[in-house]
């Protein structure tokens, strides 16, 4: 017996089949599924009405409804498979879809700066040495002639770990370690590159995690003139322009005399600019002639040999090279920043 619901079922079947044919994307298909087969969709709604029919009609209409649900589910699954086939095989055959942008990876600006430094130190005959990031206080402080009462040992500057370990606050312990571990005897020249950590408040020119380059040269006739020659060679090659340096007296417990190294401004060539605050000079790093106590701690006869050491931030070098305004950008993971170096 023909029934109003039977008409609705065939109308629904036709509409569903037609709109399924027109679905052109996975999200369209999902909308289709929700509209017809979803919990509040057309088919379940219709099937809920079956129970209000007279018993004679109930069975036959119920069967028709279930059959329709079955058929539409099968059609849906077939369509779903056809989409996954398309996605896997040939995106190019669907010009309507925008192409996926593929960007090759590239090196971090600090890695690039570090590699350039390695080339330069290699040219000068320095040997690369390494040390751990988690350091014993013995190497980070004691053997470097940094006494317990020195401000660098205060809680505020150092990340302390259990068992007397620290995150190294500078790369100077690597000098000691490498000389002791390799049993180096003068003359030798070593350098090291790596991460360092300080428990400091961060700002545009300070970060808790940064990188240093450290060098140590020991022999029986090493002077400050040698030091100046090496440093000017390094900076001139790194910045690809001829630079001058000047030394100002300073204090570091592991050197005597100690100094701060200034470099002629590579931005304005000493004409005066904002970066060098119109002075023509940029503060670059700490250095000095290795303290006799430290030479002794390296098992080196300090009456016969002497040497220089220097250590400074690599971020500073990269910031000057690329006019980077804030040191925190290096660790930010900000792709807009990083992609400029691809
Ligand atoms: N280790 C010092 C620092 O981190 C730098 C330095 C290295 C100074 C070698 C003198 C000699 O500040």
Asked which of 151-160, 181-190, 278-287 is least confident by mean pLDDT, the reply is: 151-160
| 7 within domain boundaries | yes
Rounded to the nearest 10 degrees, the angle between the axes of helix 55-89 and helix 26-36 is 170
Query: For 74-95, what is each residue's pLDDT tens digit?
Result: 999 888 888 765 554 445 555 5
Residues 147 and 228 in one domain: yes
Residues 15 and 76 in one domain: yes
pLDDT tops 90 at residue 180: yes
Q: What's the pLDDT at 89? A: 47
pLDDT tops 80 at residue 152: no
Q: What's the pLDDT at 122? A: 97
Residue with the smallest CA separation from ligand 1 atom 9 is 310
Residues 57 and 113 in one domain: no
Residues 37 and 131 in one domain: no
Question: What is the average pLDDT value for the chain, to the nearest integer?
Answer: 91
* CATH number of the domain bearing residue 202: 3.30.930.10
Q: What's the pLDDT at 100? A: 77
Mean pLDDT computed over 8-30: 89
Query: Domain range spanning residue 218?
Result: 109-234+303-341
Query: For 235-275, what is each residue's pLDDT tens digit?
Result: 999 999 999 999 999 999 999 999 999 999 999 999 999 99
Q: What's the pLDDT at 80? A: 85
Residue with the smallest CA separation from ligand 1 atom 7 is 311
Q: What's the pLDDT at 85? A: 58
Query: For 29-81, what is each residue's pLDDT tens digit?
Result: 989 999 999 999 999 988 888 888 888 888 888 888 888 999 999 999 888 88
| 262 within domain boundaries | no
Residues 114 and 74 in one domain: no
C-alpha gyration radius of the chain? 36
Residues 77 and 124 in one domain: no
CA 57 to mean position of chain CA atoms:
70
User: Is residue 166 within 6 Å of ligand 1 at its C-beta?
Assistant: no
Residues 149 and 225 in one domain: yes
| 124 within domain boundaries | yes
User: Is residue 188 within 6 Å of ligand 1 at its C-beta?
Assistant: no
pLDDT tops 90 at residue 160: yes
Beta bridge partners of 259: 249, 287
Q: Given the structure tokens 């629904």, which residue do they identify? A: 12
The structural domain count of the chain equals 2
Residues 69 and 158 in one domain: no
Residues 189 and 309 in one domain: yes
Residues 210 and 166 in one domain: yes
pLDDT tops 60 at residue 179: yes
Nearest-atom number in ligand 1 for the CA of 170 is 4
Residues 124 and 172 in one domain: yes
pLDDT tops 70 at residue 335: yes
Q: What's the pLDDT at 123? A: 97
| 31 within domain boundaries | yes
| 242 within domain boundaries | no
**Measuring CA to CA, how many Å separate 316 from each of 51, 206, 207, 256, 265?**
79, 10, 11, 25, 13
Which is nearest to 82 in space by CA: 165, 155, 9, 23? 23
Which is nearest to 159 in space by CA: 212, 188, 198? 198
* pTM > 0.85: no
pLDDT tops 90 at residue 148: no
| 210 within domain boundaries | yes
Question: 96 pLDDT band (50/70/90 cuts)?
Answer: low
Q: What's the pLDDT at 156? A: 74
Q: What's the pLDDT at 86? A: 55
User: Is residue 255 within 6 Å of ligand 1 at its C-beta?
Assistant: yes
pLDDT tops 80 at residue 224: yes
Q: 219 C-alpha to center of ligand 1: Å?
A: 20
Q: 179 C-alpha to center of ligand 1: Å?
A: 17
Residues 21 and 165 in one domain: no
Write down which residue in 66, 83, 100 finishes a domain. 83
pLDDT tops 60 at residue 296: yes
Residue 278: CB partners within 8 Å, gap ≥ 6? 272
């Amino acid at each position: 017996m023909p029934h109003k619901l039977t008409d609705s079922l065939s109308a629904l079947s036709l509409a569903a089949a037609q709109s399924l044919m027109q679905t052109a994307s996975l999200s369209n298909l999902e909308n289709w599924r929700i509209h017809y087969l979803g919990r509040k969709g057309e088919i379940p709604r219709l099937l809920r009405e079956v129970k209000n029919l007279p018993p004679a009609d109930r069975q036959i209409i119920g069967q028709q409804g279930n059959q329709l649900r079955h058929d539409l589910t099968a059609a849906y699954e077939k369509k779903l498979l056809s989409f996954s086939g398309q996605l896997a095989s040939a995106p190019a055959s669907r010009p309507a879809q925008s192409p996926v942008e593929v960007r090759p990876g590239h090196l971090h600006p600090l890695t690039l700066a570090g590699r350039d430094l390695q080339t330069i130190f290699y040219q000068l005959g320095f040997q690369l040495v390494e040390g751990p990031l988690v350091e014993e206080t013995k190497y980070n402080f004691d053997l470097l002639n940094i006494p317990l009462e020195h401000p660098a040992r205060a809680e505020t500057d150092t990340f302390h770990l259990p068992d007397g370990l620290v995150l190294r606050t500078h790369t100077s312990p690597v000098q000691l370690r490498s000389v002791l571990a390799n049993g180096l005897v003068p003359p030798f020249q070593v350098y090291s590159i790596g991460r360092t950590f300080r428990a400091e408040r961060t700002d545009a020119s300070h970060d808790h995690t940064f990188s240093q380059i450290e060098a140590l040269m020991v022999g029986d006739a090493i002077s400050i003139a040698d030091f100046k020659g090496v440093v000017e060679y390094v900076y001139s090659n790194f910045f690809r322009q001829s630079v001058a340096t000047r030394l100002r007296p300073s204090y570091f417990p592991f050197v005597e005399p100690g100094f701060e190294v200034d470099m002629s401004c590579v931005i304005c060539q000493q004409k005066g600019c904002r970066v060098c605050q119109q002075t023509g000079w940029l503060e670059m790093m700490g250095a000095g002639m290795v303290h006799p106590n430290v030479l002794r701690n390296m098992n080196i006869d300090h009456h016969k040999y002497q040497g220089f050491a220097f250590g400074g931030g690599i971020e500073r070098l990269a910031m000057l090279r690329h006019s980077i305004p804030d040191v925190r950008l290096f660790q930010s993971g900000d792709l807009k920043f990083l992609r400029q170096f691809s």
